[in-house]
Structure 1
C-alpha cells in the first residue's frame, strides 16, 4: 500500500535546505513512499529529483542576509496579496490527496517570516480526521535569535503539533543544545540521524581536474562573491599553494555579470567556473579546500579528508556557519578566517597554515537521509 508523503521546503539564499529535503525524499521513495516535494524557490540546476513529484509554489528569495525583505523572481517585494496566494497554493497542493506524512524542512525551528503559510499548513494537517505523521527536519545548528522568546516559541510549536524532529547531525560532534537553548523541552521528539549527504556528487571528475589543486567553493547559492574575489589574488601570495592551479567554483545563483567579471580575471593558474556536480570528486583529488562553512560543503570536506580553510558566512546575524567552522577548528581539521575584511593576504596565510596541519580524520556518522527515511517509515508502520 502506497504511503504518500508531503515535504515542504523553502530555501532563501543558499540551496542546502532544498538539497537535504530532496535527499530525504529520494530515500523515502526508495522505501516505497510516494513523495511530493513542494518547493518555495527555484530548484538548483544540479538537484536530483528522481522519484519525486515536484510542486513549484510561487517562488521567493531573500534580498540579503538580513532576511527581512523577500522578493519574487521579477524583483517585487512580497505583500499581503502574495502571501495569501502562496498560502492558497500550499494548501491546495497539500489537500490534493490524503497524506500519511507531513515533513516541514526547518519549520518550526526557523522560517519565522513564513509563519503565515507554515502555521496554516500545520493547522490544516492537524485538523484532519486522520492527521498525518508530523515531522520536522533540521540541520545540525540553528541560527540563534536575539530574543529568547522566539526560540521558546519554536519549542512550543513543535510540542503542539509534531511527532518527530529529525536532527541531521552526529551528537558526538555537534549537538542541538549547542545552538538551541530549549532543547530539553523537545528532547523526547528528537531523532539524531547522522549527517545527511545530499547526493549532488556525480561521476568522477574528468581527466586530471582537481588533481593537486586548490578548490575554492561557495556552495550553490548567491553568496560568497567576496571569497572568490580574494581567491583570485591569493595564489601569488601563498608559499605552500602558490605552485598549483586554483579552481574557483561560483554558485549558479551568482548573476552572470558578476560571474563574467570573475572569469575575465582568471587564466591558466586560476580557473573560474560554475559549481559542479562532481565537486566531491574534485575535493578527493585536491591539495586544499577553501570554502564557506555550509552544511553540505563541510560534509564533503569531512568525507574527502582534504585540508581546509573555512571562511564562514557571517553577515548580519548569521551564526550557524561560524559555529560549524569552530567545531572543525577544535578538532584540528581546519583553519578559519573571518569573512569580514577578508583579503588575499589573509586567505593565502590561512591556506599555508591549513597545509601545515597534520592529516586527521574525524569519525562522524553519515547516512542521515537514509536514517531519516528509516525513522519515518518505521513511525508510519507503527501508526498502522
Structure 2
C-alpha cells in the first residue's frame, strides 16, 4: 500500500520555508510516498516541485518585516471571510485522500497567525479514522519571542499534538536550545536531520560567476538596503574593484524596481533576476555577499566561498543575525549590520572577508533525505 503525506507550508517574505519543505517532499516521493504539498503563498518560479502534487491554498503574505498583518498578493488585507475560505480549502485538501503523515512547516514553533487554520487541521486529524502521524519541520534557528509565554505555548502545543520534531541543522553547529528556552521539554521528540539543501542544480553557462562577486538576496522582499549599497560599492573595494559584481535580484521585487536597478548599474556590475544555477555561480566566485537566510548560507558553506553577511534584522528578527554570528565566530565570514549600511561600509566588509584565510567548514548535510528516512522509520514503528 502506498503511503501518503500531506505537507503544509506557509512562507511570508523569504522563500526558504517553501524550498526546504519541497526538498523533504521530493525525498519522500523518491521513496514511493504520495506527497501533497499544500502551499499558503505563491511558490518561487525557481523551485522544482516535480513529483509532488501541489495544492495552492488561497495565497497570503506579509507586506513588510513587522509581520503584524497579512495581505493577499495584490495587497488586500485579509478578513474573517478570507480566513474561513482558507480553512475550508485546507480541510478540503487534507480530506481528499487518507493520509499517513501530516507535516507542518514551522508551526507550532512559529506561524501563530495561522492558528485559525492549523488548529482546525489538527482537530480534523484527531477525528480521522486513520489518524496520521504528525510531525513539524523547523530550521536551525528560531526567532526569539519577547514574551516567554509564547515560547512556552509552542512547547505545550508540540507535546499535545506532535509525534516528531525535525530540526534541520547540524547539532555540532547549532542546537535547538540555542534559540528555544524550552528545548529540554520537547527533547524526546527532536531528531536532528542535518541541513536541508545542496541538491543538484543546473551548471551555469561557461564563464558566468568566474572570479566574480555574487550579490544575492533570496526572494528579495526585504533586500532593498543591501541591493542599494551593492550597486555603488564596487569602485570602493580595494580587493574586488577589479572584477565583475553580479547582483541577483529576487523575484519578489517588482519589475519597476528591477528595471531601476538595471538602469543604475555601472560598468562592471551585472543586474539580473535570481537564477536556479546560483550554487554553481558560488563555486566559481571570488566572494559572496548576501543576507543570512538558511538556504543561502548552506549554499555558501558547500561552495567554500568567502562571504559577507548582511543579515536581515528589521523589527524583532534575530534568526539571521544569530546564524551570521555563528559563521563569523568560526572565521568563516564577515558580518556587517543592515542598519546604516552604505556602499563604503559594504566595500570595507568585502575587503575584510577577502583577507580572511580560506577555511572549510564541514557541516552535516542531506537533511531532506534524512528527514524522509526518520519519518518512514517512525511510520514503520507505528504500524507494528
TM over 0.5: yes
1:334 aligned residue: 333
Contact kept? 1:15, 1:221, Cα under 8 Å? no
In the aligned structure 1, how far is the partner of 2:176 from the partner of 2:259? 40
- Number of aligned residue pairs: 383
Cα deviation for residue 381 of structure 1 reads 1.3
SS at match of 1:280: helix
Match of 2:297 in 1: 298
Secondary structure of the residue aligned to 1:43 is coil
Return the offset for 1:325: 0.2
**1:154 matches 2:154:** yes
Paired residue for 1:138? 138
Distance 1:16 1:217 in 2: 14
Contact conserved, 2:99 with 2:130, CA < 8 A, in 1? no
TM normalised by structure 1 equals 0.98
C-alpha deviation, 1:257, in angstroms: 0.9
Contact 1:91-1:121 within 8 A present in 2 as well: yes
8 Å Cα contact 1:126-1:161 kept in structure 2 = no
Structure 1 residue 34 displacement after superposition: 0.2
Asked if the contact 1:20–1:198 (Cα under 8 Å) also holds between the matched residues in 2, the reply is: no
Residues 27 and 368 in structure 2, CA contact (< 8 A), matched pair in contact too? yes
Q: Distance in 1 between matches of 2:258 and 2:40?
A: 25
CA-CA distance at 1:198 after TM superposition: 6.2
C-alpha distance in 1 between matches for 2:272 and 2:222: 15
In structure 1, runs of 5+ residues without a counterpart are none
Q: What is the match of residue 362 of structure 2?
A: 363
State the 1:207 CA deviation: 1.6
Alignment of 1:221-300 (within 5 A): 221-300=220-299
Which deviates further from its counterpart, 263-272 or 30-39?
263-272
Is residue 2:143 matched to residue 1:165? no
TM-score normalised according to structure 2 size: 0.98
Asked if 2 retains the 8 angstrom alpha-carbon contact of 1:138 and 1:165, the reply is yes
CA 215–49 in structure 1, closer or farther in 2 if over 3 Å, else same: same
Runs of 4+ with >4 A deviation:
none
Describe the SS at the equivalent of 1:171.
coil
CA contact (8 A) 2:198 2:365 kept: no
Further displaced range: 261-270 or 290-299: 261-270
Deviation at 1:27, TM superposition (A): 0.1
Check conservation: 2:11, 2:40, Cα contact below 8 A: yes
Deviations 1:22-45 (A, max 9, x none): 000000000010000000001110
Matched with 1:103 is 103
Instruction: Answer yes or no: is the 8 Å Cα contact 2:16–2:294 preserved in 1.
Output: yes
SS across alignment from 2:73: coil
- 1-side partners of 2:32 and 2:3: how far apart? 7
Residue 9 of structure 1 corresponds to: 9
Q: Give CA deviations for 1:141-177 in whole Å, capped at 9, x if unaligned.
A: 0000010000000000000010000000000001110
- Does the 8 A contact of 1:7 with 1:37 survive in 2? yes
Give, in whole Å, the separation in 2 of the partners of 1:198 and 1:315.
28
Three-state SS of the structure 2 residue aligned to 1:136 is: strand
* Alignment partners' CA distance in 1, 2:220 and 2:104: 21
Alpha-carbon RMSD across the aligned residues, in angstroms, is: 0.9
Separation in structure 1 between the aligned mates of residue 264 and residue 292 of structure 2, nearest angstrom? 25
Shift in Å at residue 220 of structure 1? 2.2
State the partner residue of 1:207.
206
The aligned counterpart of 1:344 is 343
Checking the alignment, whether the CA contact within 8 Å between 2:13 and 2:221 is kept in structure 1 is: yes
2-structure distance, mates of 1:101, 1:215: 39
Asked whether the equivalents of residues 133 and 380 of structure 1 are also in contact (C-alpha less than 8 Å), the reply is: yes
2:53 paired residue number: 53
Q: SS of 2:177's equivalent?
A: helix
Deviation track 1:259-301 (CA, whole Å, cap 9, x = no partner) reads: 1110101144000000000000000000000000000000001
More moved, 178-187 vs 265-274: 265-274
